[in-house]
Amino acid sequence: MAKKRILSGMRPTGKLHLGHYVGALENWINLQNEYESYHLIADYHVLTTKLDTSDIYQDSIDMLIDWLSCGLDPQKSPMFRQSQIKEHTELNLIFSMLITVNRLERNPTLKDQIRDLNIENVIYGHLGYPVLQSADILLYKGNYVPVGEDQVPHVEISREIARRFNTNYGEVFPEPEPLLSKFSRLSGLDGNAKMSKSLNNTILLSDEPETVKAKLKKAVTDPKKIRKGDPGNPDICLVFSYHKKFNSEEAHEIDVNCRSGALGCVDCKMRCAAKISIFLEPIIEKRKYYEDRINTVVDILQDGEERGRKVAAATINEVHEKMKLG
Ligand code: TRP
């Protein structure tokens, strides 16, 4: 039986952080053997919130290097930029006829962004964000889309569009389903529920041990635990949540000694930093390998774009046939 397909994507915002790893990449890596995967660098989607494109190429390359360094295998799964496969924009246009403005205005993810980024006037392309995302997914006939909670409404819209297309013109597309990552998202160093570049509260996958230590030193902890000896509450401590993810073997002992007061926050943070750096060490090493061989990275991208283009072209042909275009 043919493997089911996955389409996963991220907007290129430069070097990735631990939040990207925990919330998405780890899942992609675990799924790459079981499914036929396609990995999209959603560079056009960046334009919805950032018109300045001077960094977009380098940001895309940096993200690709992080993907490779974490263990995504380009032999198995093509990696490509949205802007380099013209069928994305073509399908986006067709899909834009299959959904109402009203439906797009009800998208909760858009509402959140308008609030968080203080947007006064929504641009047309931003309203259409999920339409382009639907084109991304359906161009590769993605059955599953590994995403975080905030992207589920977009996958729902892609299901509606697939259904509308299929009933109007004939069966072409599957109805994609979201695959939620098991581990909920990683909080930022400042305690914010989201680790995010714009909040400046991240640990990068490329951070060296000294940087990780310095960042953890400033991380928030249980505010009632002021000095060593004070009992702490790991349940509300950010650093403890990192221990659970990156130091699960010692988490129980740390829990006990934090509560009793025997373990102070400085020691606890340094142990956490050390574990995170052990986790990051092979990733940083691989990153250096690729940084020294940038031609290899560009080749991987070109190869991925060629492979992606073939699948995309076949789908658009089918779409044109069903629509009696051409
Ligand atoms: N909207 C996604 C995000 O912000 C990125 C994305 C674009 C995507 N196209 C996609 C994700 C297609 C999955 C499938 O994270």
Strands (E), the chain: 5-10, 36-41, 79-81, 144-147, 177-180
Task: Please measure the distance between the N-terminal and C-terminal CA atoms of the chain and give it in whole angstroms.
Answer: 33
CATH of the domain at 211: 1.10.240.10
pLDDT of residue 235: 95
Residue 183 pLDDT class (50, 70, 90 cuts) = low
Nearest-CA residue for atom 15 of ligand 1: 10
Res. 184: pLDDT tops 80: no
Whether residue 218 lies inside any domain: the answer is yes
Mean pLDDT of 20-29: 93
Secondary structure tally for the chain: helices H, strands E: 15, 5
243 and 307 co-located in one domain? no
Measured from the Cα of 7, ligand 1's closest atom is 14
For residue 157, what pLDDT is reported?
98
pLDDT tens string 252-272:
999 999 999 999 999 999 999
Residues 170 and 61 in one domain: yes
From the CA of 80, how far away is ligand 1's center (Å)?
13
- In-domain check, residue 114: yes
- Residues 159 and 138: their CA atoms lie apart, in Å, by 9
What is the reported pLDDT for 149?
85
Return the best residue to mutate from 45, 150, 194, 195 for the ligand 1 pocket (most ligand atoms within 8 A of CB): 45
pLDDT of res. 326: 82
Q: Is residue 109 part of a domain?
A: yes
pLDDT at 148 over 90: no
- Ligand 1: residues with CB < 6 A are 7-11, 40, 42, 45, 133, 136-137, 145, 147, 151
Ligand 1 centroid vs 319 CA: distance in angstroms? Answer: 22
Based on the number of CB atoms within 10 Å of its own CB, is 141 exposed (0-12), middle (13-18) or buried (19 or more)?
Answer: buried
Could you tell me the distance, in angstroms and rounded to a whole number, from the CA of residue 45 to the centre of ligand 1?
8
pLDDT of residue 198: 84
Q: For residue range 296-310, list pLDDT tens digits in order.
A: 999 999 999 999 999
Residue 200 lies in a domain: no
| Residues 167 and 102 placed together within one structural domain of the fold | yes
Question: 182 pLDDT exceeds 80?
Answer: no
The answer, yes or no, to whether residue 284 has pLDDT greater than 90, is yes
Same domain, 261 and 133: no
Q: What is the pLDDT of residue 301?
A: 98
Residues 119 and 14 in one domain: yes
Closest ligand 1 atom to the C-alpha of 42? Answer: 7
20: Cβ contacts below 8 Å, ≥ 6 apart: 10, 66, 205
Same-domain pairing of 234 and 142: no
pLDDT at 225: 93
**Span from the CA of 62 to the centroid of ligand 1 (angstroms):** 17
pLDDT at 84 over 70: yes
Within a domain: 194: no
Q: Domain check: are 254 and 318 in the same one? A: no
Q: Are 33 and 112 in a shared domain?
A: yes
CATH of the domain at 57: 3.40.50.620
pLDDT computed for residue 128 by the predictor: 98
Phi, psi of 154 (to 5 degrees): -70, -40
The pLDDT mean for the chain works out to 96
Q: What is the pLDDT of residue 287?
A: 98
**Least confidently predicted of 183-187, 254-258, 280-284:** 183-187
- CA dihedral of 240, 243, 244, 246, whole degrees rounded to 10: 150
Q: Is residue 195 part of a domain?
A: no
- Do 119 and 148 reside in the same domain of the chain? yes
Assess whether 88 and 145 both reside in one domain: yes
CA–CA dist 258, 264 (Å, integer): 7
Q: Please tell me whether the overall predicted TM-score, pTM, comes out greater than 0.75 for this model.
A: yes
**Atom 2 of ligand 1, nearest CA residue:** 10
| Same domain membership, residue 211 and residue 71 | no
Q: Give how far Cα 52 sits from Cα of 57, 191, 257, Å.
A: 12, 30, 49
* Count of domains forming the chain: 2
Domain limits at 277?
A: 207-287
The per-residue pLDDT for 140 is: 98
Residue 147 is classified by DSSP as E
Tell me if 250 is assigned to some domain. Answer: yes
Given this model, what pLDDT does residue 307 score? 98
Q: Which residues contact 132 (CB under 8 A, 6 or more apart)?
A: 44, 45, 82, 88, 92, 125
Which of 10, 132, 137, 156 for mutating ligand 1's site (highest number of atoms within 8 Å of CB)? 10
Co-location of 145 and 272 in the same domain? no
Range 61-86 average pLDDT: 98
Q: Does residue 230 sit within a domain?
A: yes
Calculate what percentage of the chain has a pLDDT beyond 70: 99
Residue 179 confidence (pLDDT)? 94
